[in-house]
Copies of this chain bind each other. A is one copy, B any other.
Amino acid sequence: MARAINFNAGPAALPLEALERAQRELLDFEGTGMSIMEHSHRGKAYEGVHNQAIALVRELLAVPDDYDVLLLQGGASAQFAMVPMNLLSPPASADYVLTGAWSKKAYKEALTIGAARVAGTTEQDGKFARVPSASELKLDPQAAYAHITTNNTIFGTQWHEFPDTGAVPLVADMSSDILWRSIDVSRFGLIYAGAQKNLGPSGVTLVIVRKALVAAGRKDIPTVFQYRTHAENDSLYNTPPTFGIYLLRNVLDVVKNGGGMAALEQRNRDKAALLYAAIDERADFYRCPVERGSRSVMNVVFTLPTAELEAKFLAEAQKRNMVGLKGHRSVGGIRASIYNAVPREWVEALVDFMRKFEA
């Protein structure tokens, strides 16, 4: 079977090279006669992988020394709770900017823990066609933190410039936005991301957090949910998801050997430009509901004139070995997720198909 042209939103396509490496050494990791899955998390073989993974995150994202890099479990959904559990103490309140389903979920979870307020929203008729401009935000200068979701997989919007929250720590869910370009980590208090878009398989969660926030975090919550517990133990407080971290290491190695972050960003911008151009040049047939300034480089959403045509489009795409193009069940339409591991050729194949289908 030929490799599928995979536009899944996450779990998503992984670099073939990272998978092939895993396959080669699945039964025998580096001549040890054991799978990496069978190694103790306290042994040299796994610890080497663990430390490499963290070092590669630090290197590729230029993480400053005053930040901890943690590898946790539970995905972004667990972080929706852990962020306020650690950082929100009465009487303080936290600010949430609503730009889609995931930021609303994060906000709702914060309300189960403490005080939170909406510092801005672009919701209109249940949909989000853009992210807010800086002038639209009503930030609380006393907030414990301000939370944004930097890329919205469902609505296909993305923050291209991050808001300036002054002395208030900026907390960002970057699950579908991490590591496709360089960012200035020092502008954030805390960044979290489920691995299953750009980093690796599901089951690993990356947290990058300023050490001062870790130190100031609440101590009256369960030990296992305190960031400090994992920071003090190099993410080895309890047994980590060793295979997931191993595969994340493989993926980061591919990024590094593929020319680094600048080249990666250029490839991603080129892919997105190609796809948006294909939509815009047939604007009476394909329609992107997202305002131009908010269009996501990772998740490209568009609609066709009717639901019937969309169903036909998906069926024809499937025949061409293209999968994962169905929009999220909550909004419908078409969505092509074009993360790091989606090569330009796949986007070209999609664009070619779009032209033929419209004709």
On A, residues with C-beta under 8 Å from B are 1-4, 6, 8-14, 16, 19-20, 22-23, 26-28, 31-35, 37-43, 46, 73-78, 80-81, 85, 108-109, 112-113, 194, 196, 201-204, 220-225, 237-244, 247, 321, 323-324, 329
Contact = CB atoms under 8 A, between A and B. Distances in A.
A13 B38 contact: yes
A202 B73 CA distance: 11
A322 B244 CA distance: 26
Contact of A1 (B14, B31, B112, B222): B31
Nearest to A8: B40
Nearest to A46: B11
B242 A33 contact: no
Chain A, interface SS category: loop
Contact of A28 (B1, B33, B43): B1
Contacts of A240: 202-203
Given A1-B32, A73-B73, A244-B241, A222 B37 contact: no
Number of copies: 2
B23 A225 contact: no
A8 B203 contact: no
Contacts of A20: 27
A3 B33 contact: yes
Contacts of A16: 27
Contacts of A28: 1, 3
Contact of A324 (B40, B41, B237, B244): B40
Given A3-B34, A34-B6, A11 B224 contact: no
10 contacts: A1-B33, A11-B39, A13-B38, A41-B202, A73-B74, A73-B78, A74-B74, A75-B238, A108-B223, A202-B242
Contacts of A201: 37, 241-243
Nearest to A73: B73
